């Protein structure tokens, strides 16, 4: 167990970062919360805002003196990955080396490429056949290469986020037109898709951080989260909302997105990810469970209800978030 419970969260205002700050703080850690802008509300007593940009890693390290674990939760906009992703990783590595801290990176499934198999575990080979896959593979390699400089790092890979915050497929597409009685799913509704409910994922990060001293200098782990077909997800939304009449269900117009993407770069970046909704996939979390025990797992209807409540949809039922964070 980590007896010196001090953590630095890089990207504390993001969806994952905010969930991590809350979870680490409420489980007794001293949290150094790196962000560019102040929090909208006063932080918890054991949260110490670090209002320093990533372009100044030495200052961040000095402000977070004593942190034994760093979580890299930064994620550039889709259209800025090529310019920013590797730079952010290099800055995170520099901070970790200055602090002699374990670096935990929030990973995803992009490394497995456009032909990803149905079951993804830590031994599944990478496939550099999309631009996002190539970038993610390079980030993974940067962590491994830094071992020669003394870096100790871990990757915790998860599916698409839902739960708190905005900016995910869930709120930007699926429930975007919910108030008008429409659900918009990005693919065929019979394909399994990997999802991560953020309060559960944050709790898994905390448990891993608490045990990091017993883990290898570099290792990857998968967070199983929720594996849901489109039908299961949309049905759960209706269960939470209890509409007077069933919602209209539509699919995202990928053909139109691809056509517009030829002249509008953000849509081109979006179109490249269409395969994730065409190919069924799930994350095998056995290796993670071997480390942390039973994976935090909020029942899907409770998690969906909480997500809709956080997004402000009337009629949805809030989850018991305290129970969600520690569900096992």
Query: Cα torsion for 111, 117, 122, 124, to the nearest 10°?
Result: -80
In a domain, 240, yes or no: no
Q: Of 228, 274, 269, nearest to 254 (Cα)?
A: 274
Query: What's the Cα-to-Cα distance from 129 to each of 125, 169, 269, rounded to whole Å?
Result: 12, 22, 14
In a domain, 200, yes or no: yes
Give, for all 328 residues of the chain, the pLDDT tens digit.
Answer: 555 799 999 999 999 999 999 999 999 999 999 998 887 777 788 999 999 999 999 999 999 999 999 999 999 887 788 899 999 999 999 999 999 999 999 999 999 999 999 999 999 999 999 999 999 999 999 999 999 999 999 999 999 999 988 889 999 999 999 999 999 999 999 999 999 999 999 999 999 999 999 999 999 999 999 999 999 999 999 999 999 899 999 999 888 888 988 888 788 888 889 999 999 999 999 999 999 999 999 999 999 999 999 999 966 555 554 343 444 3
In a domain, 158, yes or no: yes
The structural domain count of the chain equals 1
Domain encompassing residue 89? 6-166+194-228+280-299
In a domain, 176, yes or no: no
Q: Give the domain CATH number at 141.
A: 3.40.50.720
In a domain, 325, yes or no: no
In a domain, 26, yes or no: yes
This prediction has a pTM of: 0.94
Q: Rounded to a whole number, what is the distance in angstroms from the first to the last CA of the chain?
A: 19
In a domain, 149, yes or no: yes
In a domain, 153, yes or no: yes
């Amino acid at each position: 167990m980590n007896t010196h419970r001090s953590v630095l969260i890089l990207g504390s205002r993001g969806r994952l970062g905010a969930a991590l700050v809350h979870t680490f703080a409420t489980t007794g850690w001293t949290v150094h919360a790196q962000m560019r802008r102040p929090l909208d509300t006063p932080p918890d007593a054991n949260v110490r805002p670090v209002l320093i940009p990533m372009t100044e890693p030495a200052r961040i390290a000095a402000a977070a003196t004593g942190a034994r674990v760093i979580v890299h939760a930064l994620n550039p906009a889709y259209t800025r990955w090529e310019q920013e992703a590797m730079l952010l990783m290099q800055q995170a590595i520099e901070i970790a080396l200055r602090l002699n801290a374990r670096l935990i990176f929030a990973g995803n499934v992009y490394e497995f490429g456009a032909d990803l198999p149905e079951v993804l575990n830590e031994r599944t080979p990478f496939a550099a056949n999309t631009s996002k896959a190539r970038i993610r593979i390079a980030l993974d390699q940067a962590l491994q290469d830094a071992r020669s400089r003394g870096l100790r790092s871990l990757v915790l890979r998860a599916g698409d986020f839902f739960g708190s915050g905005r900016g995910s497929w869930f709120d930007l597409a699926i429930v975007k037109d919910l108030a008008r009685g429409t659900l918009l799913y990005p693919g065929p509704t019979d394909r399994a898709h990997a999802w991560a409910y953020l309060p559960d994922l944050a709790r898994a990060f905390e448990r891993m951080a608490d045990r990091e001293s017993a883990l290898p200098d570099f290792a990857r782990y998968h967070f199983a989260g929720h594996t849901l077909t489109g039908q299961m997800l949309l049905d759960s939304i209706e269960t939470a909302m209890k509409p007077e009449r069933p919602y209209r269900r539509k699919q995202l117009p990928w053909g139109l997105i691809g056509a517009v993407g030829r002249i509008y770069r953000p849509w081109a970046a979006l179109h490249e990810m269409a395969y994730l909704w065409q190919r069924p996939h799930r994350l095998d979390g056995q290796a993670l469970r071997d480390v942390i025990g039973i994976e935090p797992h909020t029942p899907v209807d409770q998690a969906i209800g909480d997500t809709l409540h956080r997004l402000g949809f009337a009629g949805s039922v809030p989850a018991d978030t305290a129970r969600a964070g520690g569900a096992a």
